[in-house]
Amino acid sequence: MLAVAMYMALLACLQAQELQGHVSIILLGATGDLAKKYLWQGLFQLYLDEVGKGYSFSFHGAALTSTKQGQEFIAKVLESLSCPEDVAPGRCAELRGQFQQLSQYRHLRTSEDYMALSKDIEAQLQHRGLREAGRIFYFSVPPFAYADIARNINSSCRPGPGAWLRVVLEKPFGHDHLSAQQLATELGSFFQEKEMYRVDHYLGKQAVAQILPFRDQNRKALDGLWNRHHVERVEIIMKETVDAEGRTSFYEEYGVIRDVLQNHLTEVLTLVAMELPHDVSSSEAVLRHKLQAFRALRGLQKGSAVLGQYQAYSEQVRREQRKPDGFHSLTPTFAGILVHMDNLRWEGIPFLLMSGKALDERVGYVRILFRNQAYCAQNEKRWVADQSQCLPRQIIFYIGHGELGSPAVLVSQNLFRPSLPSKSWKEVEGRPGLHLFGRPLSDYYAYSPVREQDAYSVLISHIFHGRKDSFITTENLLASWVFWTPLLDSLAHEVPRLYPGGTENGHLLDFEFSGTQLRFSQQQLEQLVPGPGSAPKPSDFQVLQAKYRESPLISAWPEELIAKLAEDIEATAVRAVQRFGEFHLALSGGSSPVPLFEQLATRHYGFPWAHTHLWLVDERCVPLRDPESNFQGLQAHLLQHVRVPHYNVHPMPVHLHQRLCAEEDRGAQMYASEISALVTNSSFDLVLLGMGMDGHTASLFPQSPAGLEGTQLVVLTRSPSKPHERMSLSLPLINRARKVAVLVMGRMKREITMLVSRVGHEPKKWPISGVLPSSGQLVWKDPVKSFCDGDTSFVGRAVMEVVQTIQVL
């Protein structure tokens, strides 16, 4: 009976193999660089892996090249194909010959060409008596060609009923959120989501592909460690020694953030940060958890990035694109980005993403560095790698190149001995003298692949087997662009730091972080005054003094300005608490006060937060969780980092009864009543204001009477920009404050700064001109001086446009 059962099982297996059917693979752009370097080899590897397993294949190389030239090119490429080391030379030659027989070149341009291809495939199937399993179209072409090709495939070259279609797309998938959405919509009109496979070749790199299996196989050891309580930071790095020469037309359009960080490094970040599904083999579960990780990414600010450009880049652009001699590119070739996640697992943990060209080495890695809270009584010389908790504790997914030279997974021996699949990963042999991340290789449990595989070979196999989790869905793609586009827009006119390239970079590109801000460790001298000689330092100049609106104005450098303003706010708070037992601070929203919030959160540990009441000067009529909400900005940059009693935080009631700023809900009156009940004489101790480019302050806008006069303390107003509906403190309430500071940041406000300096008291035209505390003298000044009771302080950006003279020390 057992023998009969085994025979039946074998027969069923053979029948299943026979029924698997025929697969046609069409490589579009078959004569291009990507196809030549990787894709033909990847297709050959697929054939090596699948031959004899029940499928038959045909490979069609297609391009716009003439038939003769295309055939010659393909023949040359096929001759160079290689086999893995474990395949005998004779067997390799035999399989390469079979692959060559199955491969052909054809010219594809018109819908008739695609119809002819489909008929040829059908004729081949009929002639050989084969069932069609499916067709794979690999788009190794520029995105501008996608629409025409997609239309032709959809109308003329789809497989018949019962067979699947898989369309493989190469990046770039758009330039920003809008263009990505347009491209996705266009492709979605021809293909179903399940038919599209967007390639990010980093997901095929063996160390990256091992992240989720590693987390799954070591779930027991990692469950207690993989979180904000134990992880100190995560570094995701891709460094290149080559520059952009020969590719400047592409690089000028995309730059390093769009080329590497928005896709490769962000995809890796989601693999590290996502919640681990119960079943990591489920593509649907993996993609769903990745999307949740995308949605937990905290929005980026301009201060979250540092940018660089190697010195020869602009000259390369001028030469390759025939730009005029005076052309200087602003395209970054280096970027460091600080990312945070808004979820319980990773709250407060910095994820550092960095990539650049013309750097000192070629290497890629993901490094998870764990906190070290141990103290070891013995001398450091007696510390043992697998026992001492004082040694660094880290897990590294080494993507490739660098000193190690190959993919690897490294785990500090004082963490745990990891479990990896023994059939595909092996322990790395000892290499005396090799140090990685500050420790000898012997301090790690180190594993490398049994057989190294090219990323494209891995991904082509996953396409064939329908493994969607190794590819980018439309939803995940758009979520990534939602995250990156605002930062890219804000950096569009930023001047990157120049660096010489290679080992000469020294420490010029080193950066450090504080809160949500990233900055270069080494301050580069800025050329403030045109002319010969070396660039001056900030310390080479005296504080700029002048008159502003007939009152003293003192301007300072931005970093100094923020630091001094924060010091003065703390001093004012301490005095208020000493005198009255509490401090009432009203804060504006927007981007200008963000550096101040972060300065207060990270540098002022003597601030009397426990006795401070925080109020909002104005609010957008959106839910408080909305990224547009001023309260959300205050929460992200200040509240979550300091200990203010929750009952001392007073958000504006813009969202009542599931409505936003409805007059009948009387939200403005509620806020006014709360102020009257808690703030003596409704006089805040300090109000921080900004100034818009139209002269508005708080949410009091020109040509709008709401809130400029009268007895109302809090009003509903309308902004000319979205979201239009706002709630704001009124000008009379603001002018009751003991102190008012007006913080103006940004070069774009130069014109309004100069204009307001010349106007009188015209709040209906320029609401900022109506700021005049009723109990004191109007003084526009730099926060180098301490606040005086009842004055207004105007905090200017180091603006030479306001002050026409500079005194050199």
* Residues annotated catalytic, as ranges: 264
Question: What number of other Cβ atoms are within 10 A of residue 627's Cβ?
Answer: 12
Residue 259: both structure tokens together: 């080329």
Helix, strand or coil for residue 184?
Answer: helix
Antiparallel, parallel or unpaired: β 686-690 and 618-620 = unpaired
Residue 279: both structure tokens together: 């079943």
263 vs 269: CA distance, rounded Å: 10
200 vs 263: CA distance, rounded Å: 7
Contact 396, 413 (CB under 8 A): no
Contacts for 644 with CB less than 8 Å, ≥ 6 apart: 609, 610, 612, 614
20 vs 134: CA distance, rounded Å: 10
Residue 781: both structure tokens together: 């000044």
Q: How far is CA 682 from the centre of its chain?
A: 43
Residue 615: both structure tokens together: 């109020």
Q: Strands across the sheet with 305-310, in order?
A: 425-427, 444-449, 408-412, 394-401, 363-370, 231-239, 351-356, 334-339, 305-310, 497-499
554 vs 543: CA distance, rounded Å: 7
Q: Which one, of 691, 692, 747, 751, lies nearest residue 720 by Cα?
A: 692
Residue 699 CA neighbour count, 13 Å, CB half:
27
Residue 559: both structure tokens together: 């970093």
Contacts for 528 with CB less than 8 Å, ≥ 6 apart: 535, 536, 541, 800
728 vs 623: CA distance, rounded Å: 16
Give the residue carrying structure tokens 């002269």: 695
441 vs 413: CA distance, rounded Å: 10
Q: Which one, of 361, 386, 391, lies nearest residue 375 by Cα?
A: 391
Residue 252: both structure tokens together: 């000028």
**647 φ/ψ angles, rounded to the nearest 5 degrees:** -80, -5
**6 φ/ψ angles, rounded to the nearest 5 degrees:** -65, -40
What separation in angstroms does the CA of 644 have from each of 128, 597, 629?
77, 14, 19
Burial 656-674 (b: 16+ CB within 10 A, else e): eeeebbbeebebbeebbee
Q: Which one, of 534, 233, 509, lies nearest residue 394 by Cα?
A: 233
Residue 269 buriedness (CB in 10 A; 0-12 / 13-18 / 19+): buried
Q: Which amino acid is at 600?
A: L
What is the C-alpha end-to-end distance of the chain, expressed in Å?
A: 102
Q: Which amino acid is at 148?
A: D
Give the residue carrying structure tokens 């020694």: 241
Question: What number of other Cβ atoms are within 10 A of residue 115's Cβ?
Answer: 14
Contacts for 512 with CB less than 8 Å, ≥ 6 apart: 518, 519, 521
624 vs 639: CA distance, rounded Å: 14
Contact 617, 652 (CB under 8 A): no
Q: For residue 563, give the H/E element and its range.
A: helix 558-580
Contacts for 64 with CB less than 8 Å, ≥ 6 apart: 107, 108, 109
177 vs 488: CA distance, rounded Å: 11
